Structure 1
Amino acid sequence: MSETTVTPARPANDPLAEPIRTRADAEAFIAKICFKIGPPRLAGIELERLIHDATDPTRTLTSERLASALGRWSPPILTTPSADPTALGRPLPAGSTVTVEPGGQVELSTRAWGTFADCLAAAGTDADAVRAALARSGLAVGRSGIDAHRPAGRLVEKARYAAMERYFDRDGNDAGRLMMGSTASVQLSVDAGTETGEHAFAERWRTLHAVGPALVAAFANSPIYAGAPTGWYSTRQRVWIELDPGRTSAATAGDNDPREAYARAALDARLLCLPNDSDLWDAPAGVTFADWLDGALERPATYADLDYHLSTLFPPVRAKGFLEVRYLDAQAGDDWRVPPSVLWTLLASPGTRDAALAAVEPLGPPTWPGAWARAARTGLTDEALARAASALLTLAIENADAAGLPRAVTRQITAFAERYTFRRRTPADDQLAAAKDASRTHASENHASENHAEDHPEENR
């Protein structure tokens, strides 16, 4: 048996160590652990941020410098490849934890909070603490959903990340390396909901997908990669579209039973990597988890293997017991509060949810990749997307108090909408305008220099 198919040992009485007998058993397991049913109450936020040198954002970041800046909050793996890859540093002041993505992106993850206002407050406290620590080391937090200054590169030495890199490279494009090394998002996690009734999980699932393209367009903030415009308002979303359809697709969005659809999609996704005691986690090329169940590997798949496989899926909304919304670009400064607050409000009551669904109905179903690619490419220059996005932000503003949003955050959403959405603009437009101004300034300076050289040829002798 190949050592790359050896999963680290689990306790003998661990039910996850049991082999999976049939595909039906695997689907039942996925439905049970990915959609935990109950009244929706808890909220969590994850903030991914690109990190740059404060004076030269094109400068390559080192793991040692980042670890030094994060101090006691830094995960050990950042500087010690042999460390436990799941080990974390000390919690931030409000209890959030810090992880570091392959390219050095710093991710702050709050714990699950009983009110959304508490979740926002904790995320704000901890984001400020991280930003201040980085600033003391001459580092700055990025303002985009993709690295506008540097090409993709991997900073963290981790067996999983090395295997992922090789896996995506086999597909013959650079989307995998860009995803791992150059993208950043703001994510909201919410409870799945109840079996039936006004907070039925199927309706919450449908709503989060239906509003997705309009919100991708409204919060598009990644038009420039490594110094050059890409032609997309959300290049980050383009990366996910091109990455690996079986792993990133929103194909289960319109299914009447999300549990069954999600289970089918998960089993039909290719194996990304296989954890083991060596440094080589590569999975056999082209093998899906369903293939494994059918005997494609030398040992039977266990529930622990399936549990890990589920963590390697990256759809726009990931079911992890709760629902993790992953499709929104990171925002500049403190505007990170706006996207999760809008999403939270749109889900907060059946009336607001139904109004949100009505607002996006003219867009048609959120087909993958069509509807998502259209939003990422055009932003709010698309009239239908602009109308839908304006309606969604208006709903969020009008229903913010009922959803428990702090007044200061409601004002922030209003300011964002007035600055961008209601004017058919996105944060990406600011970046593109700044790049155009910089290009004109550079051209003007070059022209002035050439004229000076012609008028004073003696200075060049």
Structure 2
Amino acid sequence: MSDTASDCTRSRTAITEAEVEALVRGICFKTGPPRTVGVEVEWLVHELRRPQLPVPPERLEAAYAALRTVRLKSALTVEPGGQLEFSSPPAASLMECIGTVSADLDAVRARLREHGLGLVGIGHDPWHEPRRYLRQPRYDAMERCLDRRGPAGRAMMCTSASVQVCLDAGLEEPGPLGHVRRWWLAHQLGAVLVAAFANSPLAGNEPTGWLSTRQLLWTEIGADRAGAPPLDDDPRAAWARHVLDAPVMCVRQDSGPWEVPEGLTFREWTRSAVPRPPTREDLDYHLTTLFPPVRPRGHLELRMIDAQPGEDGWLVPLAVTTALFDDPAAAETAYRAVKPLAERALPGPAPHNALWMDAARYGPADPELHEAAVTCFAAALEALPRLGATTEVTDAVAAYRDRYVARGRCPADDLLDGLHGSDRRPHGKDLHA
């Protein structure tokens, strides 16, 4: 949603509570056979030779002005702290998606090198404090809103990066590819993905005690804004209730700072019509201010994976997740692998329950998460050729499995090893306990 005044004034037609529920139920799950895949890849931008050095805003501005002249198939956007995000168009296959984003990344890296800058794949900036690069009404309001919960909001906005996998919601009918099963699977498998791809153990170049500090930040923002609704047999109804009961981040204005109400839910806003009646555009905007680990946008947006190291590290979580959702045999294996984890996911919703917290703190050193990850990677490797994956992709997934998953490690351990100068096991839990 644009921050321009014209968007705020497109329509002044008030929307009712019943209309909100009907609209959300209608747009959040577009069911049908899974056919498309997409990915949103965020990167931290740092000095090419010494990433520990801060990049002055004027250097970022010059580099980003040059990037606007590069022709890309992906949408390239700048995040509040200056991170870059590539959002692929919906692709008809995994390989089409990988090919599009890989080509776009090559083009952007080449242009950034001309400015002495590079892309770094880490879930949370290990060196720098949060610093706003973008000054827009949306982010001014977001900062004011999230500051009420503490510093996690600013860190999320300015120093975090992720790989977000976008998959079709699934069939209306029950079964391995049904939307109810895929919604449930996304929230249980999500903890396994957090653990297997954890890559953010540092802040201020010191260990935080969490292998995915980025995931910890989301829990600290609060369940009303960054949590999932309760899982039940009607995802549409559950998500509609969640949207209505979530707090309004801001009330957009035609001019001047946007109002940031405290404790006003969208449901209450429709009933009170204060400070003005909400519109359909306000609802659309409200949906963009909710950050659950799985966001239904017609398709499913899986938001829990840390940014990955290496130029092509992002394609491993994309390939693994796509295989586990879109190949029927792999989806059934994944479902059975994570089903024993469901009790640990109670009573609270993701990511605020014990399962997700353990995934973020211990990664694949957690024995049950490790066992599920091993099973899921094996299923994905079997499924990828059926999805048309090339040998290069399956080799990358197999290499990741051998280097990390099979050993109960994740990229966060490499960062900690580099800090401590030793090959260490993930702290906090014995892999074989």
Q: Structure 1-normalised TM-score? A: 0.85
Give, in whole Å, the separation in 1 of the partners of 2:223 and 2:358: 16
CA contact (8 A) 2:66 2:111 kept: no
Task: Establish whether residue 323 from structure 1 lines up as the match of residue 300 from structure 2.
Answer: yes
Q: Which residue of structure 2 lines up, in the alignment, with residue 77 of structure 1? A: none
Task: Establish whether residue 215 from structure 1 lines up as the match of residue 193 from structure 2.
Answer: yes
Task: Establish whether residue 68 from structure 1 lines up as the match of residue 62 from structure 2.
Answer: yes
Give, in whole Å, the separation in 2 of the partners of 1:131 and 1:54: 10
Q: Which runs of 5+ in 1 are unaligned?
A: 12-16, 75-88, 439-461
Task: Establish whether residue 33 from structure 1 lines up as the match of residue 27 from structure 2.
Answer: yes
Q: Which residue of structure 1 lines up, in the alignment, with residue 361 of structure 2? A: 377
Task: Establish whether residue 269 from structure 1 lines up as the match of residue 230 from structure 2.
Answer: no
Does 291-300 or 328-337 show the bigger shift?
Answer: 291-300
CA contact (8 A) 2:323 2:384 kept: yes
Q: Which has the larger radius of gyration?
A: 1
Q: Which residue of structure 2 lines up, in the alignment, with residue 120 of structure 1? A: 98
Does 393-402 or 424-433 show the bigger shift?
Answer: 393-402
Return closer, same or farther for 1:154/1:144 CA change in 2, 3 Å cut-off.
same
> Paired residue for 2:265, among 278, 284, 288?
288
Give, in whole Å, the separation in 2 of the partners of 1:7 and 1:297: 19
Task: Establish whether residue 188 from structure 1 lines up as the match of residue 165 from structure 2.
Answer: yes
CA deviation map 1:235-270 (0-9, x unaligned): 000000111210111233x22111100110111111
> Paired residue for 2:37, among 21, 27, 43?
43
Q: Which residue of structure 1 lines up, in the alignment, with residue 426 of structure 2? A: none
Report the CA distance between 1:123 and its aligned residue. Answer: 0.7
CA deviation map 1:361-405 (0-9, x unaligned): 222254431211110001111111111111111111111111222
Matched to 2:213, the amino acid is T
Q: Which residue of structure 2 lines up, in the alignment, with residue 10 of structure 1? A: 10
| Aligned 1:55-454 pairs, distance under 5 A | 55-74=49-68, 91-92=71-72, 95-171=73-149, 173-198=150-175, 199-252=177-230, 254-295=231-272, 297-333=274-310, 334-365=312-343, 366=345, 367-368=349-350, 369-370=352-353, 371-437=355-421
Matched residue SS, 1:326: strand
> Paired residue for 1:20, among 11, 15, 22?
15
CA deviation map 1:96-129 (0-9, x unaligned): 1210100110111111111121011111111121
Matched to 2:130, the amino acid is A
CA deviation map 1:126-174 (0-9, x unaligned): 1121122212211121131000111111111111111111111122x11
How many residues in Structure 1 have an aligned counterpart in Structure 2? 410
- What is the identity percentage for the equivalent residue pairs of Structure 1 and Structure 2? 42
CA contact (8 A) 2:199 2:212 kept: yes
CA deviation map 1:280-317 (0-9, x unaligned): 12321111101101115132221211111011110001
Matched to 1:394, the amino acid is A
Give, in whole Å, the separation in 2 of the partners of 1:159 and 1:90: 27
CA contact (8 A) 1:147 1:225 kept: yes
Give, in whole Å, the separation in 2 of the partners of 1:123 and 1:131: 12
Matched residue SS, 2:323: helix
CA contact (8 A) 1:217 1:385 kept: yes
Report the CA distance between 1:428 and its aligned residue. Answer: 0.4
CA deviation map 1:401-441 (0-9, x unaligned): 11222221111000000000001011000000000129xxx
Give, in whole Å, the separation in 2 of the partners of 1:361 and 1:194: 21
Give, in whole Å, the separation in 1 of the partners of 2:387 and 2:234: 27
Report the CA distance between 1:90 and its aligned residue. Answer: 5.8
CA contact (8 A) 1:287 1:296 kept: no
Q: Which runs of 5+ in 2 are unaligned?
A: 423-433
Give, in whole Å, the separation in 2 of the partners of 1:91 and 1:276: 34
Give, in whole Å, the separation in 2 of the partners of 1:396 and 1:413: 9
CA deviation map 1:58-89 (0-9, x unaligned): 33323332232234434xxxxxxxxxxxxxx7
Give, in whole Å, the separation in 2 of the partners of 1:364 and 1:322: 23
Coordinate RMSD, CA, aligned:
1.8
CA deviation map 1:190-242 (0-9, x unaligned): 11122114432111111111101111000000001121110000000000011
Return closer, same or farther for 1:244/1:279 CA change in 2, 3 Å cut-off.
farther
CA contact (8 A) 2:174 2:181 kept: no
CA contact (8 A) 2:67 2:111 kept: no
CA contact (8 A) 1:223 1:234 kept: yes
Give, in whole Å, the separation in 2 of the partners of 1:197 and 1:359: 19
